Amino acid sequence: MTAFLTSGIVAQVPTIIGQAYLDAAGNVYNPMSIQPVVVLSADQETLRAIHRRSLEREVTTSAYIEEMFSTGHDAANREVFGKFSPENARLVGIALRAEKKIVDKITKGAKMHA
């Protein structure tokens, strides 16, 4: 799920992807994010608050709901996602990118993932 959520951030801001990696033997590896990814954990109530705050501040997010675990492809994900609103979606993950001060305010109540 974290990979899916992160891919939404990359799609929104492709410049956060750096250059390809090259090892000493000359093998080429995929480029990765030039910025750290911080993973937090939160209960459903806190996830809803984070979602609400991001919408209020107009910060675009990636969101993953519980029902998406039972789908098999992107079109099915979109279909099931579209059946829910922020008030009744059972969020299991959300990703966002903004200035640190804004992210800190939006994610208040979440804890570092252990």
Per-residue pLDDT tens listing for the chain (114 residues): 899 999 999 999 999 999 999 999 999 999 999 998 999 999 999 999 999 999 999 999 999 999 999 998 999 999 999 999 999 999 999 999 999 999 999 999 999 987
For 51-78, give the secondary structure using H, E and C.
Answer: HHHHHHCCCCEEEEEHHHHHCCCHHHHH
The residue segments making up the domain with residue 46 are 35-112
Report in angstroms the alpha-carbon separations of 29 from 13, 25, 32, 35.
21, 12, 9, 17
CATH number at residue 40: 3.40.1490.10
H-only helix segments in 1-114: 2-12, 44-56, 74-81, 100-106
Residue 95 included in any domain: yes
Give the helix/strand (H/E) hosting 94. Answer: strand 91-96
